[in-house]
A and B are shown apart, each in its own frame.
Chain A
Amino acid sequence: AQSVTQLDSQVPVFEEAPVELRCNYSSSVSVYLFWYVQYPNQGLQLLLKYLSGSTLVESINGFEAEFNKSQTSFHLRKPSVHISDTAEYFCAVTGAGGTSYGKLTFGQGTILTVHP
């Protein structure tokens, strides 16, 4: 079984400032890691994912996350945020095996609010 902890429930930040949303996980098996974003009154959209290979993964809108196996972390960063990045962000994990069937375990979510 896996678990995910997002260390900050809310992160306020000013526009064009850098941001880091923290995520730690625990698992007894190898994992795949994901960040999803949820805009107000919408479903979840995949932001980026780590499956294997390079530990640094990037999204098309400037976010990046680094898989750190020794610290069991997958923190999300963006060097300069925009108002449009205001949303709730979820870190999620699934076991890297066939019997996981893609079932995701989510963190509690971090609400990112970007102020002008």
Chain B
Amino acid sequence: NAGVTQTPKFRVLKTGQSMTLLCAQDMNHEYMYWYRQDPGMGLRLIHYSVGEGTTAKGEVPDGYNVSRLKKQNFLLGLESAAPSQTSVYFCASSRRSGAVTDTQYFGPGTRLTVL
């Protein structure tokens, strides 16, 4: 049971390049989330998904797109990377429950640098 995994661990892009970050979970969780972590700002929600085929915007969605074609995978895309997107990206997943009380399990993170 690997939990939540993220690929790649590190990446350096040039401004204007595109890339996709992959998040995979093997816990059969319904909910998945993408956050970015910046110094002094905590984690901010980019996009989230409440089930296969559904996605929604979070707090800071501009410049990012997501897809959830399979329940276990949640992809985060940058179509045209900008230096402001230099950050550490975390994926998380949680089980759906009626009271929305379940723990979010986090991946190890992807460190992205945009030059």
**Also in contact, A101 and B100, with CB within 8 A (given A42-B108, A45-B106):** yes
**Also in contact, A102 and B94, with CB within 8 A (given A45-B106, A49-B103):** yes
Count residues on chain B whose CB falls below 8 Å from chain A CBs: 29
| Cα(A44)–Cα(B91), bound, Å | 10
Contact A108 B100 (CB under 8 A): no
Contact B106 A44 (CB under 8 A): yes
**Also in contact, A96 and B45, with CB within 8 A (given A101-B50, A103-B33):** no
Give the most central of B43, B48, B56, B107: most A CB within 10 Å: B43
Q: Write the chain A residue with the least CB distance to B98.
A: A98
Contact A97 B100 (CB under 8 A): yes
Say whether B74 faces chain A, with CB atoms less than 8 Å apart: no
Give the most central of B106, B107, B108: most A CB within 10 Å: B106
| Cα(A100)–Cα(B102), bound, Å | 12
Contact A46 B107 (CB under 8 A): no
Say whether A104 faces chain B, with CB atoms less than 8 Å apart: yes
- Per-position 1/0 for A20-64, Cβ under 8 A of B: 000000000000100010000011111001010000000000000
23 A-B pairs within 8 Å (CB atoms) are namely: A42-B109, A43-B90, A43-B107, A46-B103, A46-B104, A49-B103, A51-B99, A51-B101, A90-B42, A96-B99, A98-B99, A101-B50, A102-B31, A102-B94, A104-B33, A104-B43, A105-B45, A106-B42, A106-B43, A106-B44, A108-B40, A109-B40, A109-B42
Q: Which residues of B contact A (CB under 8 A)?
A: 4, 31, 33, 35, 40-45, 48, 50, 56, 58-59, 90, 92, 94, 98-104, 106-109
- For the complex of A and B, 5 pairs with smallest distance between CB atoms: A106-B42, A43-B106, A44-B106, A106-B43, A108-B42
